[in-house]
Amino acid sequence: MAFEKPPVIIDTGSYTIKAGFACDNHPVAIFRTAVGRPSYLNGSYGREPYHVYVGDEATQHEDLEVCYPVVKGRIVHWDNIERILHHILYRELKVAPEDRAIMLSLAASTPMSEKFRCCEIIFETLNCIGLCIQPQSVLTMYGSGYTTGVCVDMGYDKVDIAPVYEGGLIAYAQTSTGIPSLELHDYIRRLLEERNIKITSQGVLRDLKKKAYITRNAAYNRKTGKRAFTLPDGKVIDISNEAFMAGEILFQPELAAPEWDVLSLPGAVKKAVDMCDPELRSELLDGVVPCGGMSMIPGLCPRLKQDLEVLTSELVNVYSSDEAYALSWLGGATFGGMPDAKIWVTKRQYEDFGEKIVKNKFT
């Protein structure tokens, strides 16, 4: 549908939210999916004036009660997500919602009831002129240039594998590994505690995780694998073992804990592909697309390709991108620029048909 002004593209992640315009090749704003209010209120919001902090500001103040409204890709706090959307339009993008359409990327598992709630906020509260809701996995494929393949979404608190065929999600074949970024943080922390090094700050653990790498054959070369890290107090520690193991447990989770009932990353991809029709499998394996911050661990894509070819006995193409953290948003920018009226619900349609039009467009 041709709107007078480029639609706004918003990718709702558990850790960061990305926003920009369909005419851009990179998000205008990327910030923490967080809302902070003064802790002294004790939940008594509205009884007295107070300042609300959104995004990175919310995590930088110690005297705030911080809410993370998106958990495992699902919106769990609607008042705060409304606050974030308002912040995006008025503060980050500086646009009037009354003359903008919005494309919203949500988790593939988002139920219809939550899509209805999004429509209420977009049309009734923000008064936008149009809305399109698409699964993040489908948009990720568009962002990588594919319409058929397997999206491997390696996020902050979830790792979802979702096959996509010709732009349509194969919902029944979705699976997960159970080893998101948070689990890596916890694993690194436990490894350090075994050496009597205690770290509780998630920020420090995130920085430690950036030292992780993955080898093709799981061989540990002490010389090339040496890593050092400077703690906040200035002390320098050797994290060679932690850097190696943090990446390796994605492919051999039993190394972390034999009792873990989780799939390896290539095992989860193979499971998702095997759940699809046999005639689709080769085509799906020709477009395996890792995305999310954790997918940018050095060496992940070559190792995933190698292990998948061993497991499936087929040629596998694993897409690698320097912008893997924003592939879903980039796909939304591509998708939102298409002149196809079928993907949009306008404010007029919503007022005339209500939930019926939402079900027809966003199933």
Name the pairing type of β-strands 74-75 and 101-106: unpaired
Mean pLDDT within 254-281: 88
Per CATH, the number for 149-318 is 3.30.420.40
pLDDT of residue 222: 57
* Confidence label for 46 from pLDDT (cuts 50, 70 and 90): low
Those residues whose C-beta lies under 8 Å from the C-beta of residue 12, and which sit 6 or more positions away, are 33, 70, 73, 75, 81, 104, 105, 106
* Confidence label for 2 from pLDDT (cuts 50, 70 and 90): low
Q: What is the C-alpha to C-alpha distance for residues 98 and 8, in angstroms, rounded to an integer? A: 12
At 64, is the secondary structure helix, strand, or coil?
strand
pLDDT of residue 63: 83
Q: What is the pTM of this model?
A: 0.91
* Confidence label for 51 from pLDDT (cuts 50, 70 and 90): confident
The domain 8-33+68-144+327-361 having CATH identifier 3.90.1200.10: the answer here is no
Q: Are 8 and 102 in contact (CB under 8 A)?
A: yes
- Same fold for the pair 8-33+68-144+327-361 and 149-318: yes
The domain locations on the chain are 8-33+68-144+327-361, 149-318
How does pLDDT run across 142-197, given as a tens digit for each residue? 999 999 999 999 989 899 999 999 989 999 999 988 788 888 888 999 999 998 98
How does pLDDT run across 221-241, given as a tens digit for each residue? 656 678 888 888 888 998 888
